[in-house]
């Protein structure tokens, strides 16, 4: 079976408090980017290896056993010993470490695909619990629709948010922003207005209200990322922001806007109608 794990962006991202377990409580709106996708195929294995894992496309750093797809299989195998050996092929298109949730999507979609293919009978809530064990962004990709998220990101409230009348541009300059460093730069605070309330308004009102807390430290340390946000506004974006801890910056443009993009060749650029 084949599935297509998609990217996401954060519409606002506030870090509210540090928890006793070392994680942080956040507030954000997750929005799926269905046009930007990896490809994931799982078939029954033909060897004694539990997971015969192959990756093509973008280079993925790290040991195979640390990949979230393999971790997802291992997690389910603990509770479902009859889960057969598999062959898994992942084709990477979504940039890694970019704030787009590509790795998290791959892990969550592995859970979904294994559940479907081998009829494990797991509910959405159960899949969400497994996904949270993989990472804080993973539960979103079980729901995979616009939602207001709190807690570590696993407490999700679906939203009727639709950007069909807008174009979306994502730009990644290939800069690595260490996640631990980024969180260490923040002093958690409770926002006066929630992201949920702000995104219920027209996107043209978001600029001074919808805040990603990581922008100030990240753009201070990496001026090229700040320049990207400024450029997207120059190109006519009604709203532009960092997603996650970066380094991808996105711009939301009215559908009728003619966008003439010009970025260095090594930048990753995605442009499509928002969906």
Q: What is the dihedral of CA 27, 225, 104, 147, to 10 degrees?
A: 30
Write down the catalytic residue from 38, 71, 92, 137.
Answer: 137
Residue 132 half-sphere exposure, CB side, CA atoms within 13 Å? 13
Write down the catalytic residue from 8, 71, 92, 229.
Answer: 8
For residue 12, the SS3 value is strand
Q: What is the dihedral of CA 190, 191, 192, 193, to 10 degrees?
A: -140
The encoded tokens of residue 103 equal: 């790795």
Catalytic site residue 106?
Answer: no
Q: Is 176 exposed, middle or buried (0-12, 13-18, 19+ CB in 10 A)?
A: exposed
Catalytic site residue 137?
Answer: yes
Q: Are 235 and 171 in contact (CB under 8 A)?
A: no
As annotated, the active-site residues are: 8, 137
């Amino acid at each position: 079976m084949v599935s297509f794990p998609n990217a996401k962006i954060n519409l606002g991202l506030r870090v509210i408090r540090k928890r006793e377990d070392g994680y942080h409580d956040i507030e954000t709106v997750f929005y799926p980017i269905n046009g930007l996708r990896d490809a994931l195929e799982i078939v029954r294995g033909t060897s004694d290896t539990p997971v015969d894992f192959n990756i093509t496309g973008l280079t993925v750093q790290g040991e195979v056993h640390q990949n979230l797809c393999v971790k997802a299989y291992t997690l389910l195998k603990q509770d479902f010993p009859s889960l057969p050996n598999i062959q898994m092929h992942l084709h990477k298109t979504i940039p890694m470490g970019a704030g787009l949730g590509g790795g998290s999507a791959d892990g969550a979609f592995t859970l979904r695909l294994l559940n479907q293919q081998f009829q494990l009978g797991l509910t959405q809530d159960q899949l969400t619990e497994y996904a949270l064990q993989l990472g804080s962004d993973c539960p979103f990709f079980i729901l995979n629709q616009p939602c207001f998220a709190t807690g570590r990101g696993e407490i999700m409230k679906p939203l009727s948010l639709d950007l069909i009348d807008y174009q979306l541009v994502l730009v990644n300059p290939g800069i690595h922003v260490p996640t631990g460093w980024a969180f260490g730069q923040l002093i958690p605070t409770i926002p006066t207005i929630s992201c949920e309330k702000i995104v219920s308004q027209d996107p043209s009102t978001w600029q001074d209200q919808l805040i990603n807390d990581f922008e100030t430290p990240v753009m201070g340390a990496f001026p090229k990322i700040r320049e990207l946000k400024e450029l997207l506004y120059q190109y006519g974006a009604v709203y532009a922001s960092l997603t996650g801890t970066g380094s991808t910056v996105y711009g939301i443009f009215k559908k009728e806007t003619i966008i003439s993009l010009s970025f260095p060749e090594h930048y990753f650029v995605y442009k499509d109608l928002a969906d």
